[in-house]
Amino acid sequence: MIKKLHHIVLFLFSTFYLAQVDVVYNDLVWSDEFSTNGAVDNVKWFHQTQLPVAGGWYNNEQQHYTNLITNSFANNGELNIVAKKEVFTDQGFTKNYTSARLNSKFAFKYGRVDVRAKVPKNQGTWPAIWLLGRNVNEPGGYFASTYGNTNWPACGEIDMMEYGIFPSAPENFIQSTLHTPSSSGNSVNHGGMLASSDITDNYHIYSMNWSPNQITFLLDGVAYYTYNPSVKNESTWPFDKEQYLLLNIAMGGVAGNIPSTFTNASMIIDYVRVYQNTTPDTVAPTNFTATVGAVTSDSVELLLNATDNFGAITYQISGGATQTVYGTSGVQKSEIISGLSPSTNYTFTISASDAAGNTAVNNPITLNATTLSNINTACNGTSTLASQGAFSTGYKYGFQTIGTDVKITFELLDTDKTGVVAYLWKQTPFTETPMTNVSGKKFTHTITGQTIGSTINYAVKFAYAGGLSVTKYYSYVVGDACTLGVENFSTSQETVYPNPVETVLNLKLFEKKNTITLYDFSGKKVLQKDMKANSQIDMTSYPSGNYLIKIENSKGTSTHKFIKK
């Protein structure tokens, strides 16, 4: 194993970390590169083997954890944790499987953990990379005899990576979960991501960035879930105390039946690294700038930039809604302020600081922007706006009230995304719910028991091979039918072709009188005219890009998206 190459890879990934997290941790404070063949380094790791309950482990798991070198060993710069089918008797109980569960003898508060690993996908296995509060009173844990005065989940649990216990998830989809007194067991505080390649055949870097403000999970440098409860107390945030690392493979239980053909499975770990900041930061951000970017009918883009010696910038924005966002030193941050009213002037005040609280000398910067007239409705429309990541073509959205239920449908229009799954994000309190695939890249989910007249706010996370993109949050009033702007997700009566178009756009319309309005994708109106049933628009003089065409007639209003080459 060529460790120097891994350091280069880590450096490349660090640019992603800067863009995704609120605090950048630079100093390596603890690690294991597994460079010595043989038994696991007992200065750094403890084998947890004691059965915590009579006869077994939690979750109806079927294994004995051992300290045998056949279940955990270092070889050629890699840690091997091996689950095996073998009859083994320990502590008066005989089981048919053995494995290893390692506790780090190092505990810490705040920092980043990187684990580069290959993860088994065998049916019935439950590989995990996770952390527990050092104060957990779990029998047999390394710290329990000295610090164990707190029950689970009050100690807090951070699951960086789990696989094998989510039967509805696609192959190579990993998940991260937080367990707290406010939500434990089947916790609602979780997020996941589809790996860009097979997780067993290929190494991936599983990361957790933990600050006093939030916990962010990353796969190969891409952030896919952040836990940041608005109220932090003992129930929601037990993460203000030291935690330690655990590496293990469990067998059976919630991981499902173990096939009779199972013989062994291995989680192979190249390295484990923990970073913190050991040098105080006293330098304030410099070169702070803020300008207005793209403006639509319900959103304003703010373009923010500043430099800082520790890498991460915190921007505090007021106007439209007060929010805190994080950016990378020297890299322009695009922040979309959405949920705004059409044709309205907004004033935004932005301040920049770093994680240590040092503030830019030219704080604050004040900006003004006026939103455009509306081209989409609250019920449905097309957009490219993202709250995380980016969309190459865009997506459709739709809200429909059925009794006291609301059916929410989103369709990803990007053709360059594969292996797409979708998750519905509720804004407050934050929850993430899997959506059902209808066809292609169209997904739906129905929320029940809503109050007519209430306002709901939802976005959708599209996760795909190698990344994710999250739509902006859409506000919808339950019961609103948006009769003045209905766009059906099924094929409409009008046909707009070809798409993409190079010269002439053909309109096949079924009404004799139609009002046609053409918008570029910034929301700017570039054409409006009355047209007959079958007409053409000369697109030769229009610049390349994405366009929306709104067709109004006696049947209602529909909106179509097309691309000008």
How many Cβ atoms from other residues are within 10 Å of residue 343's Cβ?
10
Separation between Cα atoms, residue 353 and residue 225, nearest integer Å: 23
Separation between Cα atoms, residue 488 and residue 354, nearest integer Å: 46
Contact predicate 338/387, CB 8 Å: yes
Separation between Cα atoms, residue 168 and residue 256, nearest integer Å: 13
Separation between Cα atoms, residue 404 and residue 35, nearest integer Å: 61
Residue 253 is given by DSSP the state G
Catalytic choice (61, 78, 138, 157) = 157
Please name every residue paired with 73 in a beta bridge, in sequence order, or none if there are none: 80
How many Cβ atoms from other residues are within 10 Å of residue 304's Cβ?
22
- Annotated active-site residue 487? The verdict is no
Buried b (16+ CB within 10 A) or exposed e, 479-499: ebebeebbbebeebebebeee
DSSP string over 434-497: EPEEEETTEEEEEE-SPPTT-EEEEEEEEEETTEEEEEPPEEEETT---TTS---SS--S-EEE
- Annotated active-site residue 78? The verdict is no
Give which of 208, 247, 273 is closest to 3, Cα–Cα.
273
Which are the contacts of 174, defined by CB distance < 8 A and separation ≥ 6?
119, 161, 162, 163, 192, 193, 195, 199, 206, 219
Helix, strand, or coil (residue 5): helix
Separation between Cα atoms, residue 344 and residue 298, nearest integer Å: 9
Phi, psi of 253 (to 5 degrees): 65, -130
Contact predicate 484/559, CB 8 Å: no
Please name every residue paired with 251 in a beta bridge, in sequence order, or none if there are none: 125
Matching residue, tokens 């430099």: 307
Separation between Cα atoms, residue 516 and residue 525, nearest integer Å: 11
Contact predicate 296/385, CB 8 Å: yes
Residue 52 is given by DSSP the state S
Alpha-carbon torsion 501, 505, 508, 511, what sign?
positive
Separation between Cα atoms, residue 14 and residue 10, nearest integer Å: 6
Catalytic choice (78, 162, 411, 552) = 162
Separation between Cα atoms, residue 363 and residue 310, nearest integer Å: 19
Active centre residues (catalytic): 157, 162
